[in-house]
Structure formats: structure tokens, C-alpha cells
Structure 1
Amino acid sequence: MRKKIVAGNWKMNLSLEEAQSLHSEINDALETSEFNCEVYHFVPSIYLSTLLESDQKVNVGSQNGYPAKNGAFTGEVSMSQLSGIGTKAVLIGHSERRQLFNESDILLKEKVDAALEEDLKVFFCCGETLEERESGQYKQTVIKQLKNSLFHLPSKEFAKIVIAYEPIWAIGTGKTASPEQANEMHKSIREAIEHAYTQEIAQNTSILYGGSCKPSNATELLNQSDIDGGLIGGASLKSEDFLKIIATYN
């Protein structure tokens, strides 16, 4: 059975005090309640060491990482440095990294390889623009992203990947793919994985939905047949909202 996962992506938000408070609130709540999913916080890199110190229910991951182990890459943090401080997971290929920082499929492939070499769990993001959705090219776009950056991996390594489908037109816009639209894309991703690998690997791969998921629509979205959880943006910055989404799997 594939794992259910609820992951919060804080992006470039929160002061250190706010980050510690939010992380503690979620951990404390999960200590005293039943939950049937894995929970992650993807946090700004400057908070990783602080948040990794505590004994916790919430896994802490990085929002980014650089593929080279060391060198003249001012401002970057390597996958080996992330692993060295105890980071367990890394977010790769988020639409904001692709669009704002021009990260190519080739670079993302290098990041995936470097992360897996350091035994980091990879959360790989993929998704289409509004133009690609409206032109009917959305499935081809997403599957091409997977082929270019993931499908070179041997089966044993691919088994360590979590995929997050995030329609770019539904991120930070308040728009959300309908449950049917989201599930259709998740099924297509799973079929592509089966074609590249095996049915067993496809059925065991967790595919998350990331696109304006919030308490009001979480139950309907996350209970779809091929949606295995959520990559949550804005709603992960409020403990009450994030806990309500986690409670979808209680």
C-alpha cells in the first residue's frame, strides 16, 4: 500500500519565532491525536538546523538543494550539506523554481541524482501552465517532465520518489483543479510510471496534489482514488488549517 502524505511548503515565509511556534504546534497536536499519514514541513534552509533538533512527529525537509557537493556556488546549499545536518527530504522542481529561477529538466535531473546519492527522500514537482491546460497539452507536458528528470532512474531508486502534481494555474491563485481533473492527471502519471517501470512500482508510488488545497476542499480532493495526499502552500502556514487537512486521513 502506498503511503498517504501531507506536506507543508512554507516557501519564503515566517520569522524564526513564528517557524518554531508553528512547527511545535503541529508536533504537539500530532502527539495527542491519531493520524494515518506521514507529515512533512518543507522550510527555509536557514531554519533547518533549529527545527531538526527536536524529537518530532513532523519530518523536516528542504525546499531546494544544489547538485554539486561543494565549490564556488555562492548562496547555494548542497545535497550533502543538507544530509549532513540530518535533513530527510528535499523538494525538487517546484513550479516557482522552474519559472522564477529558470530551472531546466536537465538541472532537475542532476538535483534528483544528487539527492538520492545522499539518501534524501525526493518530492518531485510537476505541472502545467494555464496555456498548456487550455491547449489540451497538459498530459504530454507533465509526462515529459517526468521522463526528462526521473525515468532514467533504476527501479530501486525510483521507489524513493514522491511525486507532487501541481497545476501551475492553481498555485497561489485561489483556483483549484476539480477533484475529477486532479484525479485524471494523477491516473495519467501513474500510467506513465507503469509504462516506464512496472505496475507494482506505479501502484506503490505516492502522488500528491498541490494546488490551492485547503480545509474546505481537502476531503473531496484527497479521497480521490489516485490522490495520495497534498503538498500544501498557504494553508500550511496556519496550524488549524494544516491540522484539518491532516485530519482527512484520521
Structure 2
Amino acid sequence: MIQSFLVALIAGIGHIDERLFGMTMMERPLVICTLVGLVYGDVKTGLILGAQIELLSMGVVGIGANAAPPDVILGGALSTALVLQSHTDPKLALALVMPIAAFAMATKYITYVPLNQILSQKSLEAAGRGDTKTMERNQWLGLFNYFIFPFLIALVAMLLGAPVFKSLVKFIPDWLTGGFALAAGILPALGFALLMQLTFTKKFAPYLFLGFILVAFFKLTNIGVAMVGAVIAALILLSNSSGVEGKTEDNEI
């Protein structure tokens, strides 16, 4: 019960992070899943799952007013919690995260989003009257809605869904578990591919191939590649800054 409450609390706080605290990155799956792992006494698994779900969700973005990405905050928190609570293969979390995230996004648009739209309209009317107290109250009520509904959804899912999930896991055949394990390896790569589709240009192509060469031929780890990337970024920064200084000196002369 206490663990379910804490998971729900993490999910609720994750939803109000940027609206109240100024985006501390609490809403990112890497942080959410690590905190859930801390609740269940398995920070390592929570961190690993968070990193994989982070890769999966990096390229999942909402473009336009009517396009909203799946709710990876609830998806990451609940999938990690269900897997850790049932002591099943952690790779199963990656197969669960997107269905849960899509369901959470659907519930969002039938619960607190309509309520907050009403509050926004009331605030506009209050602004026309110069009623700042009503505007402030509606602001805090809207923030409360963003917290309480994800909190309740996560709490109900943990209290009602966890026992059912534990029972279902016992009947999952090995071939299906193997399929989940295969999907666990593909989904993060898919997320990274979606991100590259948004950001990849000819200008960055050499760095992509450099990373591939370092891993494929020189067997560098991710940390090693990251260090090489940091050195290259520092060299580019120094080169650009020296160029700006040179132009400034020429202008002064």
C-alpha cells in the first residue's frame, strides 16, 4: 500500500514539474523510473529501465495543437512498478510502457484537460473584471488537477492492476516472454531512430558515422563514445569562439 502510494506520488509530481518547479527534469522517464526503483529497493533496475524508456520516448513528441504524445510519465512509472513488484523480467516493462502511456493520455483528455479548459475560460472572464483573486485561485486549481488525476490513476492502477498482473505473469509462455525480450531491444532503437528523423542533417552525418566506427571497429563503450563526443564539441566551441574574437579584433583595428 505504501509503495503504491509513493509510485502514485511520483507520477503526480512528475506531471506538475515544469508547471510548478520550472522543469527540473523530474518528468523524464530516466528520473521517474529511478525513483520508482528506489521505492522498491532496486535502484539499478529502475535506472536501467529509465534509460531504455528514455531512448524509446526521445523521438515521441507532440506537433501541433491536437497532437499529443503518449504519457510516458505514467507509462514509465507504472510499467517499472508492475515489473519490480511482480519480480518478472525487466524487459517486460518496455513492452508495457507504450500501451500504458497511450491509455494514460486518453484518460487525460476525458478528465483534467476539460476541467482546466473550463478554469481557463473562467480566468479570462475574471481578467475582464479585474478579479485577480479568482484568477489566482483558478491557477492553483488547474495545477492541482494536473497533480491529483495522474496520482489517482496511478494509485488505482497499482492497487487493482498489480495483483491481476502478478497472476497473469505466471501464465505467460516462454515464447511470448522471448518476444517481449526481442521487443525490448528494438524499441529503444526505434525511439532513437524517431529522434534522428527529426534532427538528422548532412551536417551531422560524419559524427554519426564516427560513432559507428568507434563502436564497431574500436569496441568503445557508450561512455567512451560520449567522451570522444565531448572532446569534439569542446574543440568546435573553442574554434568558433576564437573565430569570433578574431573578427572583433579586426573590427577594432
Higher helix share: 2
Same fold (TM over 0.5): no
TM tier, smaller = under 0.3
Largest Rg, 1 or 2: 2
Q: TM-score, normalized by length of structure 2?
A: 0.22
Q: TM-score, normalized by length of structure 1?
A: 0.22
